[in-house]
Amino acid sequence: MRMAKAAAASSSLVWFLSVAALIHTRTVLSSTASSRCYSAIYSFGDSIADTGNLYYDTEDISPSTYLVLNPPYGDTFFHFPTGRFSDGRLIIDFLAEQIGVPLLKPYLGIKKGKIKDWNSLEGVNFAVGGATALDMSFFAEKGLYDVLVPTNYSLGVQFDWFMDLLPSICNSSSGCKQVFGSSLFLVGEIGGNDFNYLFYLGRPIEEATTYVPLVINKISWAINKLIDLGAQTLVVPGNFALGCSFVYLRNHSSTDVEDYDEAGCLKSYNNFADYYNNQLLAELNRLRELRPGVNIIYADYYHASLQLYQSPTQFGFTKSILYSCCPLENANNHNPPAKHCGEPGLISCNDPSQFITWDGVHLTEAAYKWVAKGLLKGSFTNPKIGISCDSDI
C-alpha cells in the first residue's frame, strides 16, 4: 500500500514538474523592480499560504494530504494542481501580483533542485500545508504527535530553512539588512492547526485556550528573529472565523439554536478565534513598542472572511456557508462524505466562484481574492500595509 502511494506520488510529481514552469508565465510581471512596492516577499505559514512545498514532499506524505496533488485542485487559474489547497490562487498570490513580484516559489522545490528559475531576490515561500506554530516535541510530550500532527514542518523548522537559504540571498549583515529592509515578510497564518488538530479530536475549547500563549510566543520569537536579520515590514495574520468554517459546522453541529449567530456560525468557536486574535494583537502591540521603526502589521483574516459569511450574496456568492464545492456537499448532512476532494470519481461544483468554501477546510480562489482585497484596499490591516501599487485585484 505504501509503495503504491509512493508510486502515485512520484507519478504526480513528475507530471507536475513538466508543467510547473507554466506558473511562471502566468505571473504578473508588468512592474519593474524599481517601481515595486517591495522587492521581495518571504512567507511562513501553513496550507493557507503553501504554494507547493507539500508538493515536493512526497517521501512521507499522508494519504489525506496527498489528495491536494490531484485535480480538481488548481483547476480555476492554473488548470492543474500546484500544491495549493484551493481551486486557484491564494492570498499570498494576490499579494505578490499586487506588489509586482513573481508568484512565490516553494523552498523545497528550490532545495531539491526541481526549480531552476528562482531569483533569490524575489522571495521564497516556506509555508507548508499542515504546519503548526509549536514544535513537534510539544505534541510528542503530550502524546498527541502520532494521532494528531501529519507534518513535522513547524514554524521553527521553516525558520531553519530560511537560515539555510540565507547565504543565497545575502552575504553580509549589512547586505541582508538592505535586502530585507525592502522586503515584505508574511508570518502566517500559522498557529491555526495547533488548535484545529485538537478540535478535530474533540478536545474542549478550554484546553485549546491554554495553548494560546505558547503559540503566540512562538510567533513572537520568529518575528524577533526576522527583525534581527533586517526585516522592516512584517504582516502577521490572525486566525479565521472558525465558527463559520464548513468543517466546524459539520463536525461540531448543535441542536441548540442559541449556539449559532445570525449568520449561522458557531458562537463558541468564533469567540475562541476572536480571543486568540486579541491576544496576538496585544503581543504585536508590545513588539511595536520594543521595536520602534519596524512596521509590524496585523492582518485581520477573521473579519475579512467574516464579511463573506455574513453577506455572501453581496460578494457574488450564491451558496451559503453550509455548502462546500469539492466535494459538493451540505454541512447539515452529518454523515461524512464518501469521497474527499482530490479523490477520483467525486462530484464537485461546476463554478467554484459561487462558493466560499472549496474543500470543506480551505476557501475558493474567489473568496481568497476578497480577503486579499480587504487587506490591500480595505480596513483589515492594522496599520495599513502601505503599498502604492497601481494595479488592482
pLDDT tens column, 170-225:
988 888 999 999 999 999 999 999 999 899 888 999 999 999 999 999 999 999 99
Residue 328 in any domain: the answer is: no
Q: Are 375 and 110 in contact (CB under 8 A)?
A: no
340 is catalytic: no
Among 232, 235, 144, 265, which residue's Cα sits nearest to residue 193?
Answer: 144
Please give the grid coordinates belonging to residue 103.
Answer: 508568484
Mean pLDDT of all residues in 29-58: 78
Residue 350 lies in a domain: no
Give the number of domains in the chain: 1
- Is the C-alpha dihedral spanning 200, 201, 203, 208 positive or negative? negative
We report the CATH number of the domain holding residue 237 as 3.40.50.1110
Task: Report pLDDT for 5.
Answer: 38
pLDDT at 13 over 90: no
In a domain, 304, yes or no: yes
Average pLDDT over residues 226-244: 97
Q: Which residue has the higher pLDDT, 91 or 34?
A: 91
Containing domain of residue 369, as a range?
2-321+362-382
Q: Residue 268: how many CA atoms within 13 Å on its side-chain side?
A: 15
334 in active site: no
**pLDDT greater than 80 at residue 322:** yes
Asked, for residue 369, whether it belongs to a domain, the answer is yes
Q: Note whether residue 353 is domain-resident.
A: no
Supply the mean pLDDT for the chain.
87
What is the full DSSP assignment across 372-386?
A: HHHHHTSS-EES---
Q: Is position 392 within any domain?
A: no
| Active-site residue identified among 47, 86, 245, 324 | 47
Report the DSSP pairing between strands 381-382 and 295-299. Answer: antiparallel
Q: Is pLDDT of 33 > 60?
A: no
Q: Please give the pLDDT value at position 4.
A: 39
Task: Examine residue 20 and state whether it is found in any structural domain, yes or no.
Answer: yes
Q: What's the average model confidence in pLDDT over 325-334?
A: 87
Q: How many CA atoms lie less than 13 Å away from 163 in the CB half-sphere?
A: 11
| Dihedral class, residue 191 (left if φ above 0, else alpha if ψ from -120 to 50, else beta) | left
Predicted pLDDT of residue 21: 36
CB-CB contact of 239 with 302 (8 Å):
yes
Q: Let me know if residue 355 belongs to a domain.
A: no
- Report the alpha-carbon distance of residue 52 to residue 84 in Å, rounded: 6
Residue 119 has pLDDT above 70, yes or no: yes
Annotated active-site residue 47? The verdict is: yes
Greater confidence, 16 or 265?
A: 265
**Least reliable range by pLDDT among 170-174, 247-251, 372-376:** 170-174
pLDDT at 133 over 90: yes
pLDDT in tens, 269-308: 999 999 999 999 999 999 999 999 999 999 999 999 999 9
Query: In a 10 Å sphere around its CB, with 0-12 CB exposed, 13-18 middle and 19+ buried, how is residue 165 labelled?
Result: middle
Tell me, what's the pLDDT at 148?
A: 60
Give the pLDDT of residue 26: 40
Active-site residue (options: 39, 86, 303, 362): 362
87, 93, 194, 359: the active-site residue: 359
Distance CA 55, CA 189 (A): 19
The residue that leads in pLDDT, 56 or 357, is 357
Is a pLDDT exceeding 80 seen at residue 314?
A: yes
Whole-Å CA distances, 17 to 20, 80, 262, 272: 5, 11, 46, 41
Q: Residues 295, 304: contact at Cβ < 8 Å?
A: no
Cα 112–23–230 angle (5° rounding)?
65
C-alpha cell at 74: 488548481
- pLDDT value for 30: 34
Confidence of residue 18 (pLDDT cuts 50, 70, 90): very low
**What percentage of the chain has pLDDT greater than the value 70?**
84
pLDDT band at 374 (very low <50, low <70, confident <90, very high): very high
pLDDT of residue 172: 84
- Residues 382 and 362: their CA atoms lie apart, in Å, by 24
